[in-house]
Amino acid sequence: MGAQTFPIEVCDQLKYYVYRLIDPRTGQTFYVGKGKGDRVFQHARNAIAINDDDQLSDKSKTIQDIINAGLDVIHVIHRHGIEDEQTAFEVEAALLEAYPGLTNIVGGHENSERGCTHADELIKKYKLELIQPKHSLLAISIGRSLEEGRSNYDAVRMFWKISKSRAESADFILAHRKGIVLDVFVAEEWIDSSDEKLANYLPVGIEYDPPRKGFIGRQASEDILALYKNTRLPSVKKGAASPIRYLSPAGEQDQ
């Protein structure tokens, strides 16, 4: 039989790896696994040591049949240099589903939840419902502010180039990122950025001329959150770049 160990310096470079065992008689992969060190060779060693046919797994029987035919199991390292075991699990799980008819007893890591699935089924599972406005809504994009570590509330409430009267006409404010509604708020008061109530929130050395608008408010009630949170907004019109959008039961309105 071929080499049954990796030199120590090779093991150091391989780190975690995912491998396949191939039957040279058919060219078929019969086992997929992950491991470190000499794990890929351990299966053949274990199979050779078993003398009781009743204790042979399908994998071990396949290996013994290969050896009895005067051949060696083909060991293929499919992906190596993996830094952590969790990533190795993920690669192993994908390969397990790519090679049907394996002798593996246990299926891939989390394959029941995130395994091989038709693309249409994934769309049904993960695509969010399109928002159905039942109120006057002001939708504000907060993606950039979230990247600065702000809460949804602080990200959405200031400072915007917006008409105060138009803002006050909205029943609820939607905080969204890339069209996905993350949170919903009620504005209790819209005020200018020059107002002392918001002065402490202005970046040092920044003054808006004319003043921009911000609001003081609270998170919407549970029934409103259930209505709008985790829904998606309609696709933006071509060329639209404003972070502000108005929606109502009658449809989306221009600024």
pLDDT, tens digit only, all 255 positions of the chain = 445 788 887 888 889 999 999 999 888 899 999 999 889 999 988 888 887 766 678 899 999 999 999 888 989 998 898 999 999 988 898 888 888 778 776 555 444 455 556 556 656 666 788 999 999 999 999 876 665 677 899 889 888 888 889 999 999 999 998 888 999 999 999 988 777 776 666 555 566 677 788 899 999 999 999 999 989 898 876 555 678 999 999 887 765
The domain 8-117 is classified under which CATH number: 3.30.300, 3.40.710, 3.30.470, 3.40.1440? 3.40.1440
Residue 142 contacts residue 153 (beta carbons within 8 Å): no
Domain residue ranges in the chain = 8-117, 137-253
Q: How far apart are CA 230 and CA 28, in angstroms?
A: 45
pTM: 0.53
Rounded to whole angstroms, what are the CA distances from 100 to 4, 29, 95, 230?
A: 27, 9, 9, 37
Contacts of 95 (CB under 8 A, 6+ apart): 18, 20, 32, 78, 108
**Six-digit token string for 190:** 């819209």
